[in-house]
Amino acid sequence: MRAYERFLDYVKVYTTSVEDQEQIPSADREFDLANRLVDELKELGVEDARVDANCYVYGTIPATPGCEMAPAIGFIAHMDTAPDFSGENVRPQIIENYDGGEVVLGHSGRVLSPKQFSHLQTLKGRTLITTDGTTLLGADDKAGVSEIMTAVEQLLGSDAPHGKICIGFTPDEEVGSGADLFDVQGFGADYAYTVDGGIETEIVYENFNASGAKFKINGVNIHPGDAKDKMINASIVAMEINSMLPKLESPEHTEMYEGFYHLTGMSGNVEHAELSYIVRDHDSACFEAKEKTLRHIEKVLNEKYGKGTVKLEIHEQYRNMAEKIKPCMHLIDHAKEVMKELGLTPDVSPVRGGTDGARLSFMGLPCPNLGTGGYAFHGPYEHITVEGMDLSVKIILGIIGKYAKETK
């Protein structure tokens, strides 16, 4: 079975995760795909395939004779889809021999256009898979799941030598909890790759340092007729907080290694208000400076309006995996070698986000990220190609072959 065939099947399973939930998985429906994958892995010959109580799927393929001393290599993808846009009742469109032009997305009124997505012209001649415009597609990251499963099938159906291979599928990556309860020791890999990126030639080992920040503002609500020198309007204080941040350090004004403050939510009235931000920067010193700026705003406004008016909460989300990958650059070198052998040009670039691999790298499992062949994730314009998925499978198998020749 080819990767895209599995993919078309998996995207029909509703696995959207839910924000602001304490339990993992955030939605029980994520078990629907997890249980299905366990059954399929067992059918393929992965005898120890299992899903735990928190919806993490694990399985191992023992080393072939003579490769027992090769490093154990893991491949990881996440099963959930983003809550940003509907992931229910996904109905993919398949366009064979795509001409590089506009694609009408069902009856949604939306059009996938090279005017907006210039890379579409590079996909000319391929088989394109799109949404019907009413949901996301789920390539992030059911494409990665499909590619790992297909690589497993092809590996077990061949006589290719390999070391121990570890398989992992996680819930809740899209809501920031994907690595929280991952059993690194039980997983059993020396090194791993997440398969959760964009174009199939993508290799990522640099990502943002990331935190979430929330300002809670307590106002003083006085009848507006008697409010002079007494009222503190929490909503106006919230507006003041946002105005104190550098206007050019926002997502819409930054790129590559440039960090940002991103206002993701706001609510409030005169008495209470809240602002939620995500804070990002590749450079650890710049990242710390951004957090200090937020704390300084809290201090200044409490001095201005009174102690307790503004309360800031900051929690770390993930860190730049480069710190943990640079001592293990063979992970990157092997991936680049495989791509070049396939006639591809590796695209090694920083990701303006994070993956489970970033968290896992700091949990003791060095874990860069590979592309899946997908584009425009998290929305109705999401798309992928059959050929890109096939190449991702070949890259996974090529990496396995590289490590089969090494010893720990």
* pLDDT, tens digit, 9 for 90 and up, residues 329-365: 999 999 999 999 999 999 998 888 777 888 999 999 9
pLDDT at residue 317, as a whole number: 84
Rounded distance, CA 349 to CA 346, Å? 9
Beta carbons within 10 angstroms of residue 370's beta carbon: 26
pLDDT at residue 355, as a whole number: 77
Write the pLDDT tens digit of every residue in 18-32.
Answer: 988 989 999 999 999
Q: Catalytic: 80?
A: yes
Sign of dihedral through CA atoms 217, 222, 225, 231? negative
Catalytic residue, chosen from 80, 132, 153, 206, is 80
pLDDT at residue 387, as a whole number: 98
DSSP-based three-state secondary structure for 157: coil
Q: Is the omega angle on the peptide bond into residue 141 within 30 degrees of 0, that is, cis?
A: yes
Phi/psi for 209 (5° steps) reads: -80, 140
**Of 82, 83, 119, nearest to 98 (Cα)?**
119
H or E element, residue 59: strand 57-61
pLDDT at residue 352, as a whole number: 83
- Residue 40 sits at the vertex; the CA angle it makes with 37 and 44, to the nearest 5 degrees, is 135
Torsion from C-alpha of 295, 296, 297, 301, nearest 10 degrees: 110
What are the tokens at 408?
């720990």
pLDDT at residue 349, as a whole number: 85
DSSP-based three-state secondary structure for 261: strand
Q: Catalytic: 173?
A: yes
pLDDT at residue 318, as a whole number: 86
Calculate helix-pair angle for 330-341, 386-404, nearest 10 degrees: 120
b/e map of 120-148 (b: 16 or more CB within 10 Å)?
Answer: beebeebbbbbbbbbbbbbbbbbbbbbbb
What are the tokens at 219?
């106002």
Stretches in the chain below the pLDDT threshold 70: none
Q: Structure pTM?
A: 0.88
Catalytic residue, chosen from 141, 147, 153, 173, is 173
